[in-house]
Amino acid sequence: MGAIARTTGLFAFMFGLFIVIGWVVGTVFIGDWLMGMVFFIILAAAFNLIAYFYSSKIVLFSYRAKIVDERQAPRLYRIVKQVAFKANMPMPKVALVPTDTPNAFATGRNPKNAVVAATEGILKTLSDEELEGVLAHEMAHVKDRDILVMTIAATLAGAISIAARFALFSSLSGGRRDSGAGAIMLIAAITAPLAALLIQLAISRSREYKADEEGAMIIARPLSLARALEKLEAANTKKPLRYGNPASASLWIVNPFSGSGLVRIFSTHPPIAERVKRLRLMAGKMGQF
- Residue (of 272, 197, 166, 186) closest to 229 by Cα position: 272
277-280: list long-range contacts, CB under 8 Å, 24+ apart: 278/209, 278/212, 278/213, 279/212, 279/216, 279/222, 279/223, 279/225, 279/226, 279/229, 280/222, 280/223, 280/226
Choosing from 130, 138, 208, 233, which is the catalytic residue? 138
Q: Are strands 66-68 and 93-97 parallel, antiparallel or unpaired?
A: antiparallel
- 35 CB-contact burial (10 Å; exposed 0-12 / middle 13-18 / buried 19+): middle
Catalytic residue status for 70: no
Catalytic residue annotation? 138
